[in-house]
């Protein structure tokens, strides 16, 4: 087995707390433990073919552990992936750049799109390691992705603050959090902040059930409610609309509650604040584990895999098993089960949902 001498690192897709901590872990372990030279490619995958990189060393890796964002920058990689699949010249350009820079391996830090592109690059014969990154926590093959814990912590703190406003003004406040197809942030921040209604893309939503839950609170003498909704929730009346023309989940729900149920409601969208800033201590340590393991895999000559956490242990799974799948919230999730036992409304009739799933 040939010993790796020079590797590259890139970050791609949306930013998330912990990318810099992961870059640091990969590079410092590679340099200190294995004597490997490390290049950091700027702007995602195109940084390779553009030969746009910085040499990473112990000096410029300092102070990255707590830093948000990514020192390497990022870009969406769909166009790059499509070019590799359709254009032989794109593959030749990548091979030429790879050979000129004498790369032995590439570490790709990113979410679902990045892991999909990493799998394509791997299948073309390049030595690739993936590291899963997304606040949405929806990368298949790992129990958790870095950035998720930080995002949930930020969302929980902000929802906690919203409780006092809702109670003071006798209002229902709809809080929209990130999560296009997966409701992990909504579920975890909603449960942690004591939300009364939690709506997830995986379950759908019956507006009548939500209205009934709120009216029940009023009947019990509670004068306000907190609803946490993932941005990817699509209501029945919106299904035929184009995504770009569709009213946001939080705004739509708040408006419907006011107009059709006579409930004083306001919405607030947490937005990009969930993705910014310093990573939590949990995420910092997770990044250290994942990044260090990636460098060890390279030293051991193991490629075509994504580093992952399974049953609280660092391991790895083939990129080929990850690239076309999402990890979604199941109706049987233990937090949902406990929430239902505590009378949290999830906007769906679970008996009907069960029958639908059984079909």
Q: CB of 199 within 8 A of CB of 339?
A: no
Q: CB of 123 within 8 A of CB of 321?
A: no
The long-range contacts involving 328-331, CB below 8 angstroms and separated by at least 24 positions, are 328/138, 328/181, 328/182, 328/183, 328/202, 329/182, 329/183, 329/184, 329/187, 329/200, 329/202, 329/203, 330/202, 331/202, 331/203, 331/357
> Which segments of the chain are extended strands (E)?
6-11, 37-41, 53-56, 105-110, 128-132, 172-177, 197-199, 225-230, 265-269, 305-310, 313-318
Residue 72 makes CB contacts below 8 A (sequence gap 6+) with 9, 10, 11, 19, 23, 40, 41, 42, 43, 47, 54
Euclidean distance between CA atoms 250 and 226, whole angstroms: 12
Burial of 250 (0-12, 13-18, 19+ CB in 10 A): buried
Euclidean distance between CA atoms 53 and 50, whole angstroms: 9
Query: Encoding tokens for residue 345?
Result: 């409304």
- Edge-to-edge, what's the strand order for the sheet holding 197-199? 197-199, 225-230, 172-177, 265-269
Question: Which residues belong to the active site?
Answer: 136
């Amino acid at each position: 087995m040939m010993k790796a001498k020079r590797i590259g690192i890139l970050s791609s897709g949306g930013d998330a707390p912990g990318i810099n901590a992961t870059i640091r872990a990969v590079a410092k372990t590679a340099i200190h433990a294995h004597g490997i030279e490390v290049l950091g490619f700027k702007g995602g995958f195109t940084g390779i073919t553009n030969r746009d990189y910085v040499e990473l060393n112990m000096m410029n890796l300092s102070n990255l552990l707590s830093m948000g964002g990514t020192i390497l920058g990022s870009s969406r990689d769909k166009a790059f992936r499509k070019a590799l699949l359709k254009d032989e010249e794109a593959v030749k350009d990548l091979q030429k750049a790879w050979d000129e820079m004498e790369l032995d391996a590439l570490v790709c830090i990113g979410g679902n799109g990045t892991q999909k592109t990493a799998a394509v690059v791997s299948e073309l014969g390049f030595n690739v390691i993936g590291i899963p990154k997304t606040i949405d926590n929806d990368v298949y093959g790992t129990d958790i992705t870095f950035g998720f814990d930080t995002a949930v912590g930020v969302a929980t703190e902000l929802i906690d603050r919203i409780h006092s406003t809702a109670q003071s003004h006798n209002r229902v406040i709809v809080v929209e959090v990130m999560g296009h197809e997966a409701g992990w942030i909504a579920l975890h921040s909603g449960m942690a902040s004591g939300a009364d209604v939690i709506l997830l893309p995986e379950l759908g939503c019956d507006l009548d059930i939500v209205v009934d839950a709120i009216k029940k609170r009023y009947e019990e003498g509670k004068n306000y409610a907190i609803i946490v909704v993932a941005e990817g929730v699509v209501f029945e009346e919106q299904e035929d609309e184009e995504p770009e023309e569709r009213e946001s989940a939080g705004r739509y729900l708040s408006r419907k509650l006011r107009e059709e149920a006579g409930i004083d409601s306001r919405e607030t969208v947490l937005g990009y604040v969930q993705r910014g800033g310093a990573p939590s201590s949990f995420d910092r340590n997770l990044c250290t584990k994942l990044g260090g393991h990636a460098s060890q895999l390279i030293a051991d000559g193991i490629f075509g895999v994504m580093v992952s956490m399974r049953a609280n242990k660092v391991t790895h799974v083939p990129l080929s098993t990850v690239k076309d799948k999402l990890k979604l919230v199941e109706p049987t999730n233990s937090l949902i089960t406990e929430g239902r036992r505590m009378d949290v409304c999830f906007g769906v009739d679970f008996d009907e949902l069960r029958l639908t799933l059984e079909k």
